[in-house]
Structure 1
Amino acid sequence: MIPTTQSLSPPHIPSLIPTNHFNPPIPLSNSTLFSIKTTLKRSNFSHSRKTPVFKSSFQTLKCSVSVVSEPAQIELKRKPSPAEVSRTVMEVCELGTLCTLSQEGWPVGSGVRFAVDAEGTPVLCLNAASRRFSMDRRASILVQLKQCGSRITHCMVQGSLEKPDDRNILKKLHSIWRKKFNEEIDADLIYTITVEKVLQKEGFEEDGAWATSSEYKNANPDPLRDCAENIVKNVNNNHMEDFERICNIFVDPGFQVISTKLIWVDRLGFDVQLYAPEKKIFEARIPFPREVTDEKGVKSSLNIMSQLAWEVERNHPHPEFEKGEVMKQVR
């Protein structure tokens, strides 16, 4: 049975991120697909209250939000696990620092290129100079993903350096390397790191979180990994006024916010930096109303959030929804 809905808004509110897949939006309904979490509160952002208008060759988004009268009490996962983040970093990046033990027992670090197989196992191509390690094959590879706002997400994979000798395995690893770098390599140069555990950090001063080998192998890289950077650039360069409107409604920082910046986006939500007086910077996490799997889903969710924020700013009746939270002070 389809629930009935009631209009709560003016007939047309422009889309936060215009897209060519949809027609103009319709008003918010009397109920919502959003996870019911907290009651809306006002925040301390300062920005224009005019209806957002964008210059774009795309059409605006059509979004209809409705739900049954008794929402399911499902606890949404707010953020990908350390294992998921690590898998994403290893998929996106292609450069890292390999640390092995020399024949004298000293740790030796060297820059390497790498690819990963379906389970996230690092695949390396090591020349003669990079293979001067001892019989102790313990090794690690440190990989860093630079994100907006000077944030660097770290992933360190610890394990054992192995030299595959099975021809079928070497053929598979060679194919993985060719797919990532579009080049041929000598099978004698192929090495792998057998994953024992993984450390994931989101900053130099954080302790980080460990993931086991099984957690890492069973995790999936984020489906937005190939488009996340472009989404971040698009929002920060073209839609900042309306993105700040979203942050104003979906986060209660408890302090004055001068400006905001989108840092990263994944299937469950997005990370934001909040700039406060005295050059202080805080990081917040805002969940999506629902999990997304592609760029189209991100646009749809942001447009829904922008439309709801527009409603709240004008004191229209509105549903409750899950809000984000300030996670830490960056500076």
Structure 2
Amino acid sequence: MQRTALPAGRTHQPQALARSLRRPQPFRPIRHISSAVASQNGNGNGVHANGKGSAAPRCPSPAQTIRTLVDIVNEGTLSTVAANGLPVGIPVSFSTDKQGHVQLHLDAATVDMANLRGSAACSLTVQPTAHPARAVAAVTLIGKLELPADMSAPAPLHVDKCLYFGGLDQGSRGQEVSGEEFAAAEPDVLRKAAPELVNSWNSERAEDIYRIVSEFLGVPLTEMSYAELLWVDHLGMYVRSEVAGTEGPEVIRVPFYRPVLDERDARSVITMAAQIAWERERSYNPPLPSIFADAAAAANN
């Protein structure tokens, strides 16, 4: 795909991007763009690749995002209730087993142990500490902790419900998710690869993101003031963008035309979206291979 310069005065610098990722950025409420997704990202017929004609979900459910966060983070804040009724929060580490069950690693000498012996009720607040994952969401798992006989062993957290605070998924802020939904959800297949995908596209292929958003929003590339990839999951990507003459930055959700299978598949789908946007920008019609051109000429004769 031929490369062209970004809009004048809007060069996407990695240093500026790094600074922007370290500090909160104001933006308008998230906007979902769905009408042109199928045609921009692959088969162009508005249906799944399996031909069943049902559109894929536009973004992971809160339960899926919670499972993703719990899988990629290993530290959180454990809150317990002291004998005097006051809540106490301390930092703890945790892990998940193959079934996704949360296991806390506790120090028997800390204050929370005395509290937990009085009441097993507790909550665990989890949020990634570093960008880009930190922008995705935060969650509080509410339930009861099972103290093992051997305190060197991890303590299982039995989750009754979750409070989901969407970062990029702002429409779900403060949503309650049941323990059953949490247990049944699967973590996203791109959870480990997403930070590298975000860094790679923003630092090396920023023009692709500008072009995809330009096409999706239906505005000329020259009017794109800013575009920054924030996160990628198996259903699509979040992008912070700004169009010249608008109120300011906004986060948009750009869904893929089908769920991706892994990191390599995600790279392919994003690259394809940029290529198709580039072709449409130039009204480009690739020439037919000679075998098809000869067949067409023969048919006309």
TM-score of the alignment, normalized to the shorter chain, above 0.5: yes
Match of 2:184 in 1: 218
Contact 2:46 2:55 in 1 (8 A): no
Distance 1:119 1:14 in 2: 46
Match of 2:115 in 1: 133
Query: Which of 231, 240, 262 is matched with 2:197 structurally?
Result: 231
Q: Deviations over 1:9-41 (max 9, x none)?
A: xxxx369xxxxxxxxxxxxxxxxxxxxx7369x
Match of 1:31 in 2: none
Distance 1:142 1:67 in 2: 43
Report the secondary structure of 2:115's partner residue. Answer: coil
Query: Which of 146, 157, 162 is matched with 1:162 structurally?
Result: 146
Distance 1:99 1:76 in 2: 38
Structure-2 change in CA distance of 1:211 and 1:150 (3 Å): closer
Match of 1:192 in 2: 156
Q: Deviations over 1:232-278 (max 9, x none)?
A: 00000000012210111123589x64101101000000011113568
Kindly report which structure 2 residues correspond to 1:105-124, keeping only aligned pairs within 5 A, or say none.
105-124=85-104
Query: Which of 298, 303, 309 is matched with 2:271 structurally?
Result: 303
Return the offset for 1:163: 1.5
Q: Deviations over 1:142-198 (max 9, x none)?
A: 011243397251011100111145xxxxxxxxxxxxxxxxxxxx7545312100011
Task: For 1:267, give the aligned amino acid.
Answer: H
Query: Which of 52, 62, 84 is matched with 2:64 structurally?
Result: 84
Task: For 1:144, give the aligned amino acid.
Answer: Q
Match of 1:142 in 2: 125
Return the offset for 1:105: 1.4
Moved more, 266-275 or 71-80: 71-80
- Cα RMSD over matched residues? 3.3
Task: For 1:38, give the aligned amino acid.
Answer: S
Contact 2:145 2:158 in 1 (8 A): yes
Q: Deviations over 1:52-106 (max 9, x none)?
A: xxxxxxxxxxx98587999642121110000000000000001100000112211
Q: Deviations over 1:102-143 (max 9, x none)?
A: 122110000011101234322111111141215221111001
Task: For 2:81, give the aligned amino acid.
Answer: L
Total equivalences in the alignment: 242
Match of 2:175 in 1: 209
Match of 1:95 in 2: 75
Structure 1, gaps ≥5 residues long: 1-12, 16-36, 41-62, 166-185, 319-331
- Whether 2:54 is the aligned partner of 1:74: answer yes
Contact 1:262 1:272 in 2 (8 A): yes
Contact 2:190 2:262 in 1 (8 A): yes
Bigger share in helix: 2
Match of 2:232 in 1: 265
Task: For 2:68, give the aligned amino acid.
Answer: T
Contact 1:149 1:273 in 2 (8 A): no
Distance 2:266 2:211 in 1: 17
Q: TM-score, normalised by structure 1?
A: 0.65
Report the secondary structure of 2:76's partner residue. Answer: strand
- Whether 2:239 is the aligned partner of 1:250: answer no
Match of 2:241 in 1: 274
